[in-house]
Amino acid sequence: MVADVDELIDPDAPGWFRRALHTPFFDEVVEVNGAKIHYLAWGEPARRGLVFVHGGAAHAHWWTHMAAAYARQYRVVALDLSGHGDSDHRDAYSLEQWAAEVVAVAADAGIDGPPVVVGHSMGGFVSIATAALHADAVDGVIVVDSPVAVPDHEVGAAQAKQAFGVPRVYPTLDDALARFRTVPPQEHYLPYVMHHVARRSLHEVDGGWSWKFDHNLFNAFTSSIRAVALPYLPQVRCRFALLRAEFGLVTPDIGESMYEMLGRSAPVVEIPEAGHHGMLDQPLVLTTAIRTLLADWDHSTPQRRA
């Protein structure tokens, strides 16, 4: 655990956020196909597990203030996919490779039985592929605002790279922090969450500070980012739920389409007042939705799909 965690906490942060960041966790590493994959782990091993998967160009600490809340009941992990955070970079990336990393981290973390995987945005695509390709290794999937659809226009690797900007080195940490943005942008953020996430997004390099993610990771998407998980969605057979942000990327039409592809047996729940990055503007509402799903899944029989 980082010793100077208080430096990562905004002075105006509320009590629940402070408690979350002070919840003990461990930094762990597992090697997957030649790359060291870093992950965070909370709670005791040999418990049921939750695995949190971040979005594109993000990292495990996007989940810290939410994931820590489950440590009393679960073995909780949040990983840095290769090319992100403190994990190694690769020469090439793919949805399938990232899915293998999710499975390897869950196995290394000492989780009792198959975990529930929670994925945001691109991490939702990874979670869907994980459930389809490694059915015995996943107990359930909760996807947060991941628009699986054939889009009206192609959003490919080149456009994604452009959206995240050209890799550059900033002379000071403050210069870099001033440039921290999300893609896509949204109208509302909690400043104390952004304070923490931004500081975890940077590392010191020759000449100053730079973002941790590999800009080449977008080469994993040769055509449409939104369509990358399309072949895998109908193959998911475990518990599944889609949390749709009210002001996010999953429109009602996309939500309905995903509901149909899942055999009309998976709930689609709107997170009110949330933008695409729900952990940055409505983390408590998002946490409540996840807790509700987990409690329901513990006490209900899944509807059989056609």
Rounded Cα–Cα distance for residues 142 and 164 (Å) = 26
Bridge-based pairing state of the strands 26-32 and 268-275: unpaired
* Tokens of residue 91, six digits: 């020469």
Residue 1: the pLDDT is 39
By the 8 A CB rule, do 45 and 28 touch? no
Query: Can you give the residue ranges of every domain in the chain?
Result: 26-294
Phi, psi (rounded to 5 degrees) for 158 = -65, -45
Rounded Cα–Cα distance for residues 197 and 215 (Å) = 18
Residue 156: the pLDDT is 56
* Tokens of residue 6, six digits: 């208080």
Residue 126: the pLDDT is 98
Residue 297: the pLDDT is 96
Q: What is the pTM of this model?
A: 0.95
By the 8 A CB rule, do 146 and 54 touch? no
Structurally, at CATH architecture level, domain 26-294 sits in: 3-Layer(aba) Sandwich (3.40)
Q: What is the pLDDT along the chain (306 residues), one digit of tens a residue?
A: 344 788 899 999 999 999 999 999 999 999 999 999 999 999 999 999 999 999 999 999 999 999 999 999 999 999 999 999 999 999 999 999 999 999 999 999 999 999 999 999 999 999 999 999 999 999 999 999 999 987 655 555 556 656 677 789 999 999 999 999 999 999 999 999 999 999 999 999 999 999 999 999 988 887 778 899 999 999 999 999 999 999 999 999 999 999 999 999 999 999 999 999 999 999 999 999 999 999 999 998 876 665
- Please spell the DSSP secondary structure of the chain, one letter per residue: --TTGGGGS-TT--HHHHHHHHS--EEEEEEETTEEEEEEEES-TTS-EEEEE--TT--GGGSHHHHGGGTTTSEEEEE--TTSTTSPP-SS--HHHHHHHHHHHHHHTT-SSSPEEEEETHHHHHHHHHHHH-GGG-SEEEEES---S--SS---HHHHHHHH-----BSSHHHHHTT---SS--S---HHHHHHHHHHTEEEETTEEEESS-GGGGGG-SS-STTTTTTTGGG--SEEEEEEEEESS--HHHHHHHHHHTTT-S-EEEEEEEES-HHHH-HHHHHHHHHHHHHHHHTSPPPPP-
Could you tell me how many residues make up the chain?
Answer: 306
